[in-house]
Amino acid sequence: MTKASFPSSRETPLTKVELEAPRDGYVNGAIGQRPIQTDAVAIYSIVSLKKRRKADAVIRSGLDVVTKDYISEFPK
């Protein structure tokens, strides 16, 4: 199965709360899922199976880990 390419964490805008909470010490970090990428990979897998091609048993569409140390790497 061909791997689809999705935006990295640095291309995914975060909300004001997601940026402020770790920076201001309200939480140590946050983990964000990527619902659009997850849906796209799932549909791609379904189409592959329908065409009798192989699909990965485990699908990893990525996630964003936001901590005080990494906030500057995310677009505002």
pLDDT for residue 61:
75
Q: Does 1 fall in a domain?
A: no
Task: Compute the C-alpha angle 49/53/54, nearest 5°.
Answer: 85
Q: Does 21 fall in a domain?
A: yes
Q: Is the pTM of this model over 0.95?
A: no
Q: Does 2 fall in a domain?
A: no
pLDDT for residue 75:
64
Q: Does 73 fall in a domain?
A: no
pLDDT for residue 47:
93
pLDDT for residue 17:
79
Please give the average pLDDT of every successive group of 10 residues along the chain, which has 76 residues: 45 72 86 79 90 84 78 69
pLDDT for residue 49:
92
Q: Does 48 fall in a domain?
A: yes
Q: Does 34 fall in a domain?
A: yes
